[in-house]
Amino acid sequence: MWHLVATISAKDNLYSTALSDGLATDSEVNRISETSFQFELNEESAKDLRAMWNTRMRGIIACDNVLKELDELRKNR
């Protein structure tokens, strides 16, 4: 059995909430502060763990990119 615990920290509560909400359908997310959260992965093989990790990270990266674009739009108003 392979086990991974990831802790994600964001710049503020809004970002942290958006990032954790983006994982809501894939993983159980545990809020550990206003700006950070954790999720765990448990898989039978390293290959499966890597695949699940990549899936979660792609979701976080996509959400982060959207949040950055929204910040830029707000700044340019």
What is the side-by-side order of every strand in the sheet holding 2-9?
A: 2-9, 36-43, 29-31
The secondary structure element, H or E, covering residue 52 is helix 46-75
In tens, the pLDDT along 44-72 reads 999 999 999 999 999 999 999 999 999 99
In terms of C-beta distances under 8 Å and separation of at least 24 residues, what long-range contacts does 12-20 make, across chains too?
15/64, 15/67, 18/63, 18/67, 19/60, 19/63, 19/64, 19/67
Fold held by 2-75: TATA-Binding Protein (3.30.310)
- Give per-residue pLDDT as tens, 2-46: 999 999 999 999 999 999 998 878 889 999 999 999 999 999 999
Answer whether 27's CB lies under 8 Å from 39's CB.
yes
What's the whole-model pTM score?
Answer: 0.84
